[in-house]
């Protein structure tokens, strides 16, 4: 297997469900002990806060989002990122622009891995 990847070759999940709320999409891949998720979020969506056993880094590529992590709130934009500890309650709200977000999970999220497997089997 090649060590090089292209996001457009990775299936895009557009179906709202437990791991992708309505108004978002995800392209995801697991590489060893790390999972990458490239998320697109429509303006003004605000999914419910959630938690999971994986640590998460959220890096903003485009747009602005209001993130809330363990009760602390901040607006972040391109080039800024946030670190979410395992099982920490967190959420976000996409502001007036389309947002492109790279999420990095360690270890990979089991629920998202199962969804990625479903998508791979459909293609």
Q: Structurally, how many domains does the chain consist of? A: 1
Residue 2 lies in a domain: no
What's residue 43's pLDDT?
Answer: 96
Looking at the domain assignment, is residue 49 inside a domain?
A: yes
- Domain range enclosing 58: 7-122
Per-residue pLDDT for the chain (123 aa), expressed as one digit of tens each? 789 999 999 999 999 999 999 999 999 999 999 999 999 999 999 999 999 999 999 999 999 999 999 999 999 999 999 999 999 999 999 998 999 999 999 999 999 999 999 988 887
Q: At 48, which CATH number?
A: 2.60.120.10
Is the residue at 89 inside a domain? yes
Whether 1 is covered by a domain: the verdict is no
CA 119 to chain centre: 16
To the nearest 10°, the Cα dihedral for 14, 1, 4, 11?
-10
Sign of the CA dihedral with 37 first, then 97, 61, and 94 last: negative
């Amino acid at each position: 297997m090649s060590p090089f990847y292209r996001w457009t070759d990775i299936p895009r999940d557009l179906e709202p469900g437990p791991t992708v709320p309505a108004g978002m999409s995800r392209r995801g891949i697991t590489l060893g002990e790390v999972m990458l998720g490239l998320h697109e979020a429509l303006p003004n969506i605000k999914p419910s806060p959630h938690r999971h056993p994986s640590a998460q880094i959220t890096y903003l590529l485009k747009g602005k989002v209001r993130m809330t992590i363990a009760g602390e709130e901040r607006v972040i934009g391109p080039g800024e990122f946030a670190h979410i500890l395992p099982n920490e309650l967190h959420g976000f709200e996409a502001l007036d622009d389309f947002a492109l977000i790279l999420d990095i999970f360690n270890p990979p999220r089991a629920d998202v891995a199962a969804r990625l497997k479903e998508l791979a089997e459909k293609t």
